[in-house]
Chain A
């Protein structure tokens, strides 16, 4: 607000005048003064910051006669040209906050000493009020800017959260943990887990240069591209190369994405990775910490880049750490960087019982101190392979995924199949392997219903599903009313069936055996059990 006191209004009414404020604030007051007489030529003149007139006005004792002022100043010339006769400095607390510019008196007489005195008094009274108005406006503008920034941060955070995985993969014998800590000004970090078509797990960790909404949008796009490419290829080098080709044409200027893409076989511990300019992952085995070396150009800079692949094996009782540079570049109070040495040290401390991720965050917090304001996003993904699993996947521990009973009536084989499929969902089985398991379970349940329950609802079929690091084991136990499920039947032969020499039926056991990696039928006094085993990782059988 710049409401003018009434004497000033009258003065302006009589003698075309305008308050010109110093450049940075000029816009605030000009408009309202000009409104007084829109037809009058503007007397507002911008005075450059270094113009000697400003220094002169700062200490001028009162209104300054511009026509007579001898000063080598572009502003003085501009004021004269604009028709300004008198400039009244507005000084508040020793600071020049603007000027009141007046044209010649309408009576064409000179400004009298009384006029000048009145103007000087007015200026002295108006200046503090105008200063207050300026401060109020500045604060309002600052508040609006703060609101705009915090709104942008909310949007960026929202985008970011939208793309972080809601669930971590649960793999037998592996503990996977992830942390994403956004900086106040949200960056473009991301991580993702993808189930590859061959049953392995794809892990991506990336960082978009820049911050805020632009970075979040590029992150979102990169995330989608990586997901799409990971469904087409299982080679991390190929995935990054294709993602790069798609990102190059649409990458905003001065932005790029660093990204590490790893593909882990949870059964063997074999890891294949390719790197587009991202931090190298660390592997800890015992107290030895090594980097997996893989380098390549960040995504989105140049087309047709090939990414080399590096392979390695993660031994039992080892940790793998994937991270963004927000970790390495975190500062303590004395501006010292956290750095690689501290990270290696934190990694090598094999503090049994504590999770690596918690340990790293604790070490980092101790380093940065409690009042630390994080400058960049920090992303950590840790993979821990439990001890005691050998490469030939000896079963050391198994977890029961589900156990249930169904009435032994025809049609319930489908129910059995659907429930087993739901129970193994969390293992991330490849779709074709899942279909094989489903067919095998359905067939075995059908056998149990036919031979074990004779189709009677009151005779149940019991089903348990267990998973180990290497395989899924489904046990289907029946009451053996007709004895054990026969395993000595003649193998089905399509030619003989078509010729009528074999019954059309009799495919059940044949299908189970060809769908899964092992099938076993056992009996005791009053139950029969079919055990169906499917390895978690694909292993091509003779059936393809």
Chain B
């Protein structure tokens, strides 16, 4: 459904770049998320925040996209943190150990 279509918006704030995502995070998000990361890379900040507050669904293919983004960020010397994850997806990030490679901030605060 259209309201679940993935989208990512990149904004630059002092000291970091934020990617605010919305919709379903699954393999159909590949292009938009990849594009967003390229934008982040062009902006050059070493700190990236992924904002999940408008993400209602993440599946294993979405996890794979986050893994790829993390790998790119590691290669580029960029730290990544996640905000706005629901308790369920925080749990999944913990089980998959994604949380060992990114800072998981509870709630959607800065």
Binding site for B on A (CB under 8 A): 410-411, 413-414, 432, 435-436, 439, 442-443, 446, 492, 494, 497-500, 503-508, 510-511, 514, 543-544
| CA distance in complex: A500, B68 (Å) | 9
Could you say which residues of chain B place their CB within 8 Å of the CB of A442? 57, 59
Instruction: Report which B residues bind A (CB closer than 8 A).
Output: 4, 24, 27-28, 57, 59-61, 63-65, 67-68, 70-71, 74, 86-88, 91-92, 94-98, 100-101
**Docked pose: A210 CA to B5 CA in angstroms:** 57
Decide if B96 touches A510 in the complex (CB within 8 Å): yes
Given contacts A494-B98, A498-B74, A543-B95, contact A507 B63 (CB under 8 A): yes
Q: Is there an interface contact between B71 and A497, defined as CB atoms closer than 8 Å?
A: yes
5 interchain residue pairs of minimum CB distance: A507-B60, A435-B88, A504-B64, A504-B67, A505-B64
Q: Taking the nearest CB of chain B, how far is it from the CB of A182, in angstroms?
A: 42
Contacts A500-B71, A504-B68 known; A494 to B60 CB distance under 8 Å?
no
- A494: chain B residues at CB < 8 Å are 67, 96-98, 100-101
Contact B24 A439 (CB under 8 A): no
Instruction: Output the least CB separation between A494 and chain B (Å).
Output: 4
| Bound CA–CA A420/B101 (angstroms) | 33
- 22 CB contacts below 8 A, A to B, read A413-B59, A435-B88, A439-B59, A442-B59, A443-B60, A494-B97, A494-B98, A498-B67, A498-B74, A499-B71, A500-B71, A504-B64, A505-B60, A505-B64, A507-B60, A507-B96, A508-B60, A510-B96, A511-B63, A511-B95, A514-B95, A544-B94
Q: Are A432 and B67 in contact, with the CB atoms below 8 A?
A: no
The reply to whether B71 and A504 contact each other, CB–CB distance below 8 Å, is: yes
CA distance A432 to B92 in the complex (A): 12
How far is it, in angstroms, between the C-alpha of A414 and the C-alpha of B27 when the chains are bound? 13
Tell me whether B101 and A507 are in contact (CB under 8 A): no
Q: A439-B88, A498-B70, A498-B74 are in contact. Are A511 and B60 (CB under 8 A)?
A: yes
Complex Cα distance, B94 from A508, in Å, reads 15
* Chain B residues within 8 Å of A506, by CB: 60, 64
Q: Say yes or no: A492-B59 contact (C-beta < 8 A), given A439-B88, A497-B67, A504-B64.
A: no
Complex: chain B residue closest to A450, CB-CB: B61
Chain A residues, Cβ within 8 Å of B86: 435
CA distance A497 to B63 in the complex (A): 12
A446 — which chain B residues lie within 8 A by C-beta?
A: 59-61
Within the complex, the shortest CB–CB distance from B73 to chain A, in Å, comes to: 10
Q: How far is the CB of A231 from chain B (nearest CB, A)?
A: 15
Other than the given A494-B67, A514-B95, 7 more pairs (CB < 8 A) read A432-B88, A499-B71, A500-B71, A505-B64, A506-B64, A507-B64, A544-B94
Partner of A436, one of B61, B70, B74, B88: B88
CB distance from B23 to the nearest CB of A (A): 11
Is B61 a contact of A505 with CB atoms below 8 Å?
yes
Q: How close is B90's CB to chain A, nearest CB, in angstroms?
A: 11
Residues in A with CB closer than 8 Å to B70 are: 498
Name the distance in Å between B110's Cβ and chain A's nearest Cβ: 26
Q: Which residues of B contact A436 (CB under 8 A)?
A: 88
CB pair B71–A544 under 8 Å, yes or no, is no
Contact A492 B71 (CB under 8 A): no
A435: which B residues are within 8 A, CB to CB?
A: 86, 88
Chain B residues with Cβ below 8 Å from A414 are 4, 24, 57
Q: Are A504 and B65 in contact (CB under 8 A)?
A: yes
Could you say which residues of chain A place their CB within 8 Å of the CB of B65?
504
Hey, which chain B residues are within 8 Å of A507, CB to CB? 60, 63-64, 96
CB atoms of A498 and B88 under 8 A apart: no
> What's the nearest-Cβ distance from chain A to residue B87, in Å?
7
B98 and chain A: residue at smallest CB distance? A494
Residues of A contacting B96 in the complex (Cβ-Cβ under 8 angstroms): 492, 494, 507, 510-511
Q: Are B67 and A544 in contact (CB under 8 A)?
A: no
